[in-house]
A and B are shown apart, each in its own frame.
Chain A
Amino acid sequence: QVQLQESGPGLVKPSETLSLTCAVSGYSISSGYFWGWIRQPPGEGLEWIGTIYHTGSTYYNPSLKSRVTMSVDTSKNQFSLKLYSVTAADTAVYYCARRPRDYSFDNWGQGTLVTVSS
């Protein structure tokens, strides 16, 4: 059974870079599937951030594209998110998830709260 676990700093200062990693167990990233990041500001809805394939191909939300980079490390079976120049509006629970070819998200991490504050 595939499991995903987000990790990274829970507090980031404004204008700095948010960095998160998603460790995948129970499934090899190299075997296929796409992998994604979704966030949820407190009390608000879900927002798709981006998706990456094991080859490194990436697809980003146009509203965040200028500030986002995703990468994959198949040797560690994990993928990562970097969000640059953060502001308070980037405060959210960040989820990583597996994305099959049907464009759903069939397995999710538990989520990690990232607060942007000085």
Chain B
Amino acid sequence: QSALTQPASVSGSPGQSITMSCTGTSSDVGSHNLVSWYQQHPGKAPKFMIYEVGKRPSGVSNRFSGSKSGNTASLTISGLQAEDEADYYCCSYAGTTLVFGGGTKLTVL
């Protein structure tokens, strides 16, 4: 299994919206609505942000939203804040296995 493809970096100014992508195949991202997203600050464990493509766990800001089209899932963060600066990882069901993306570094300018 190959890692899902994420852009290495994205950036935006405070208050703006950004969208980052997560591209897989019909065997993983495209097969089911079982994509999740994680936020990771330096030296910290990943934080659970989105599940089943676009659902938010309790306690996660509604500034974070997810969607999917075909084999590509996307994470959108609206109203960017300084604390959103972090690495973001997508993860997808892939049959009996799971596969992560390579990660995207979000810089808040």
Contacts and interface: CB of A to CB of B under 8 A. Distances in A.
A38 B40 CA distance: 14
Nearest to B57: A106
A3 to B, nearest CB: 12
B45 A105 contact: no
Given A45-B3, A106-B51, A95 B102 contact: no
Given A46-B100, A46-B103, A48-B97, A105 B46 contact: yes
Interface string B18-56: 000000000000000010101000000111100110000
A66 interface: no
B98 interface: yes
A107 B48 contact: yes
Interface stretch (B9-17, B69-77, B78-86, B88-96): B88-96
B28 to A, nearest CB: 10
B32 to A, nearest CB: 8
A45 B89 contact: yes
Given A46-B46, A108-B45, A61 B97 contact: yes
A38 B99 CA distance: 10
A103 B103 contact: no
A26 interface: no
Nearest to B49: A104
A103 B93 contact: yes
B34 A102 contact: yes
Interface in A36-54: 36, 38, 45-48, 51
| Minimum-distance CB pairs A-B, first 3 | A104-B36, A104-B51, A103-B93
Given A59-B96, A108-B47, A109-B45, 10 more contacts: A45-B3, A45-B89, A45-B102, A46-B46, A60-B97, A62-B97, A103-B92, A104-B34, A104-B51, A106-B57
8 contacts: A36-B98, A45-B3, A46-B38, A61-B1, A62-B1, A104-B36, A105-B38, A105-B91
